[in-house]
């Protein structure tokens, strides 16, 4: 299958600070590629290079077959970008924001007026199209930014934390829309939301400190973590105290408290007994094994949680 995006040994440095270090990968046409990593890992820098906002310090990158350094204008006519920040024009109405974007893409009014009507309706903003974005909630502003990126029907969509600030219902509606674009469009998603990456992506790369540390489908990444053992422990009380005790134990890869459950990852099989011995039988309610999540994969690879 044809590659829509390709990076070869791309590095971006600001003086001595290396934001992205020798990153290479390819994204196939018509797929959703998820770049997962914590804040400050280098995701946005990578997107900025691919959307021609930044030039790589070394290496080469191609989008839609065009070199990001030499053919910026060609690339920009192919792509739609949902940036991390809602950079809407607060002095233009919602509709005017979309019209300006369409004009910059050289669209004819007969084409963009119809398209804007469709997108405003899809994003649930048709009734508010004459309002200014500063009167919108964060979620509405986000939906308008997504609509703006879609006006010119881009071949490749760059989505930098696209559903940040959205309520679950709006998030789900946008995810469904992105999924409907799959196969016809290539989507490049950056997120620190494991659920989002898991739900949307055909392939996921994990980035940390500017370097790619793992790559594969969601299932492949989880499988790679299977050599560790994952358990969920429910205690009647003192959950925080037990979590702290487990973190000190040499047989434990990681332990954390989530939604009242202690989630542990053992370094090797057969060490569960040592862990159970630490729990007062009167406190123990339930122990169950569980499937690893992308969060576990990240934790196993880096020893840190995605959101710290």
**Chain centroid, CA 104 distance in Å:** 27
DSSP string across 128-155: GTTS-GGGS-HHHHHHHHHHHHHTT--S
10 belongs to the binding site for other proteins (CB under 8 A)? no
Q: Single out the segment in contact with other proteins by CB under 8 A; choices: 28-36, 98-106, 250-258, 267-275.
A: 98-106
Please report how close the Cβ of residue 77 comes to other proteins at its closest, in angstroms. Answer: 4
The answer to whether 83 contacts other proteins (rule: CB under 8 A) is: yes
Among 39, 58, 103, 217, binds other proteins (CB under 8 A): 103
Helix, strand, coil % in the chain, rounded to nearest 5: 35, 30, 35
Phi-psi region of 95 (alpha: psi -120 to 50; beta: other; left: phi over 0): alpha
Question: Rounded CA gap, 124 and 290, in Å?
Answer: 38
According to the binding rule CB under 8 A, does residue 90 interact with other proteins?
A: yes
Looking at beta carbons only, is 52 or 201 nearer to other proteins?
A: 52
Instruction: Provide the sign of the torsion angle of the four alpha carbons 92, 93, 94, 95, taken in this order.
Output: negative
Tell me: does residue 106 bind other proteins (CB under 8 A).
yes
Q: Does 1 bind other proteins (CB under 8 A)?
A: no
Q: Is there a contact between 190 and 249 (Cβ–Cβ < 8 Å)?
A: no
What are the backbone dihedrals phi and psi of residue 167, each rounded to the nearest 5 degrees, phi first? Answer: -75, 160
Interface with other proteins, residue 76, by CB under 8 A: yes
Task: With contacts defined by CB under 8 A, name the span among 100-108, 249-257, 278-286, 300-308 that binds other proteins.
Answer: 100-108
Minimum distance from CB of 57 to other proteins (Å)? 10
With contacts defined by CB under 8 A, how many residues of the chain interact with other proteins? Answer: 27
Of 57 and 302, nearer to other proteins (C-beta) is 57
**Contact map string, positions 36 to 65, toward other proteins, x by CB under 8 A:** ---------------xxxxx----------
> Hey, what are 212's tokens?
């790619």
Cα(205)–Cα(37) distance, integer angstroms: 9
Q: According to the binding rule CB under 8 A, does residue 139 interact with other proteins?
A: no
Stated as kind and residue range, the H or E segment containing 246 is: helix 239-248
The site for other proteins (CB under 8 A) is made up of 51-55, 73-74, 76-77, 79, 81, 83, 85, 87-92, 96, 100-101, 103-106, 148
């Amino acid at each position: 299958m044809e590659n829509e995006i390709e990076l070869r040994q791309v590095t971006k440095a600001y003086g001595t600070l290396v934001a992205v270090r020798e990153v290479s990968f390819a994204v196939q046409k018509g797929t959703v590629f998820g770049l997962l990593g914590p804040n400050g890992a280098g995701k946005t820098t990578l997107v900025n290079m691919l959307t021609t906002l930044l030039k790589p310090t070394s290496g080469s990158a191609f989008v839609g077959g065009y070199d990001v350094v030499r053919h910026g204008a060609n690339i920009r006519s192919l792509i739609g970008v949902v940036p991390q920040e809602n950079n809407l024009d607060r002095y233009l109405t919602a509709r005017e924001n979309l019209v300006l974007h369409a004009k910059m893409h050289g669209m004819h009014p007969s084409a963009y007026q119809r398209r804007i009507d469709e997108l405003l309706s899809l994003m649930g903003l048709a009734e508010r199209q004459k309002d200014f974005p500063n009167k919108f909630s964060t979620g509405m502003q986000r939906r308008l930014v997504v609509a703006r990126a879609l006006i010119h029907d881009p071949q490749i969509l760059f989505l930098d934390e696209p559903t940040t600030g959205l309520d679950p219902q709006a998030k789900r509606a946008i995810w469904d829309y992105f999924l409907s674009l799959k196969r016809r469009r290539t989507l490049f998603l950056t997120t620190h939301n494991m659920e989002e990456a898991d739900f949307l992506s055909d392939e996921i790369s994990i980035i940390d400190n500017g370097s790619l540390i793992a790559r594969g489908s969601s299932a492949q990444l989880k499988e790679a973590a299977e050599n560790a053992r994952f358990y969920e422990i429910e205690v009647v009380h003192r959950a925080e105290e037990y979590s702290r005790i487990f973190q000190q134990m040499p047989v434990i890869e990681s332990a954390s408290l989530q939604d009242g459950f202690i989630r542990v990852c053992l370094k090797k099989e057969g060490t569960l007994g040592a862990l159970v011995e630490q729990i007062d039988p009167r406190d123990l309610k339930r122990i169950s094994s569980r499937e690893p999540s992308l969060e576990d994969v990240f934790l196993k690879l880096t020893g840190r949680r995605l959101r710290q």
